[in-house]
Chains A and B, each alone.
Chain A
């Protein structure tokens, strides 16, 4: 059973960089697409982007200038970096596995981690 777990600071100051890590167990990240999705408090879901172990990243154009998603196959982890954050970036951040090919879906999610942007 694949499991994902987010980790990282719960509080980030405005203008700084938000950094989160997702540790994957029960499966290798050397296949599938690995994604970040966020949900502001009380609101809907926003796809941030995904990356493949070969380095084929795809980001939401609304965030593309500030986002990097990278994979560390040696640790079976992937990470999110979001620069120049503002209060609008306050959200629960989920890491997730995205299947692409015969089917296109998000089948495994982490439990989510709340990141608050505040001074």
Chain B
């Protein structure tokens, strides 16, 4: 199985801050990396697919980058509605696997 490691596991930030979350794969996954946002008690929502493509309807303050084993999700200016947990997920091979999540909290 491909292991996905996210960091940090949690962070505190203020509205307007630039936030960066990283995800590392245990082996190369090319660009088969997706990012999801999950709010408390809700299903995950797709933000970024194929490492850097913005899902339709997702605000442009979200962006993704990387390939191979190292990936980044960036929120350029954190908004109140962005406080949530973020997961990366690899689709390079089955079993599909997810990172452990990064909880973004209000400072």
Chains A and B come from one and the same complex: yes
Question: A106 in the interface, Cβ–Cβ < 8 Å?
Answer: yes
Q: Which of chain B's residues have a CB closer than 8 A to the CB of A47?
A: 94-98
Task: Give the residue name and chain of the A residue nearest to B32 (CB).
Answer: A104
The answer to whether A112 and B101 touch (CB under 8 A), given A45-B87, A47-B95, A61-B95, is no
**Prevailing SS type, chain A contact patch:** loop
Q: Which of chain A's residues have a CB closer than 8 A to the CB of B45?
A: 109
**Prevailing SS type, chain B contact patch:** loop
Count how many chain A residues have C-beta atoms less than 8 Å from C-beta atoms of the other chain. Answer: 18
Identify A103's interface contact among B49, B98, B100, CB under 8 A.
B49
Q: Which of chain B's residues have a CB closer than 8 A to the CB of A112?
A: 42-43
Question: A88 in the interface, Cβ–Cβ < 8 Å?
Answer: no
Count how many chain B residues have C-beta atoms less than 8 Å from C-beta atoms of the other chain. Answer: 25
Identify A111's interface contact among B36, B42, B50, CB under 8 A.
B42
Number of A-B contacts defined by CB within 8 Å: 53
Find out whether the CB atom of B49 lies under 8 angstroms from the CB atom of A105: yes
Residues of chain A in range 15-70 having any CB-CB distance to chain B below 8 Å:
44-47, 58, 60-62
Identify B46's interface contact among A60, A61, A105, CB under 8 A.
A105
A37 to chain B, nearest CB (A): 8
- B interface, CB within 8 angstroms of A: 1, 32, 34, 36, 42-46, 49-50, 53, 55, 87, 89, 91-92, 94-101
Additional A-B contacts beyond A47-B98, A104-B50 (18; CB < 8 A): A44-B99, A44-B101, A45-B44, A45-B87, A45-B89, A47-B96, A60-B94, A60-B95, A62-B95, A94-B43, A103-B53, A104-B34, A104-B92, A106-B34, A106-B44, A107-B55, A111-B42, A111-B43
- A interface, CB within 8 angstroms of B: 44-47, 58, 60-62, 94, 103-107, 109-112
What would be 13 A-B contacts, judged by CB atoms less than 8 Å apart?
A44-B100, A45-B89, A47-B97, A60-B95, A62-B95, A94-B44, A103-B53, A104-B49, A105-B34, A106-B36, A106-B44, A111-B42, A112-B42
